[in-house]
Structure 1
Amino acid sequence: MSLLVEENPARRRFEILVDDALAGFVGYRVESGTMVLVHTEVDQRFEGKGVGSALARGTLDQLRDRGERVRITCPFLLSYLERHPEYTSVVAGD
């Protein structure tokens, strides 16, 4: 299974492709210059296969590599962050 996470700025989301098929996305909005990760969705065909975690990891890796700091309101990503504290540097302080 080939996984690719890439940003789609026109749709304001990070998308995960599984074998070239869109399998899910993390939607965001920009508020006062800060990216806010608001929603994660994975297609039912890919649930339970680690696609959501791969999407979260790929999104957060790209943001960390770019030196960006974001706010997270998405419950799935907040839960992922609790299990993966190595990404706390990506989260902007209040």
Structure 2
Amino acid sequence: MLPSVRRAARSAARGRAGEPRTVAGMTDETPQVRNDEGEQRWVAELDGQVAGYAEYTRDGGTVTFTHTVVDEAFEGRGVGSALARTALDDVRDQGGSKVVAQCSFIAGWIDKHPDYQDLLA
């Protein structure tokens, strides 16, 4: 997919700040992901329940992902990938921000998706 098309697809999937949004290209059982800035975590909901979250800290233009959790009941349903993709897309859309992947899940996800490696600090 061309970068401009990918950006347009991400923008179309994005709601206003803090509102849940569906990750493009996933099924009807796609987790709804929102940024809970007060708790400094991205939260994924599926079937009306919290299915997982990715915690972060922010220091100026650097977002450090510290821990990701997916509830066992929702494993294998794309929750972790939805969290990673949505959070990293948001960092990219902020422009100029960089990522430190202290969390092994986020680090591994970035390794498997080379088009996100440019975000690494």
TM-score band by shorter chain is: 0.7 to 0.9
Secondary structure, counterpart of 1:11 in structure 2: coil
Deviation of 1:70 after TM superposition, in Å, equals 1.7
Kindly indicate which of the two structures has a greater share of residues assigned to strand. Answer: 1
Pick closer, same or farther for the CA change 1:30–1:62 going to 2, 3 Å. closer
Deviation of 1:5 after TM superposition, in Å, equals 1.3
Moved more, 48-57 or 72-81: 48-57
Which is bigger in relative contact order (C-alpha 8 A, separation at least 6)? 1
Conserved 8 A contact 1:38-1:74: yes
Secondary structure, counterpart of 1:49 in structure 2: coil
> After superposition, what is the alpha-carbon deviation per residue over 1:31-73, rounded to whole angstroms, capped at 9, x for unaligned?
4x22211100001110122211111111111111122212111
Over aligned residue pairs, what C-alpha RMSD do you find? 1.4
2:102 maps to 73
Structure 2: distance between partners of 1:65 and 1:43? 28
Percent of aligned pairs with the same amino acid: 38
Aligned residues, how many?
Answer: 91
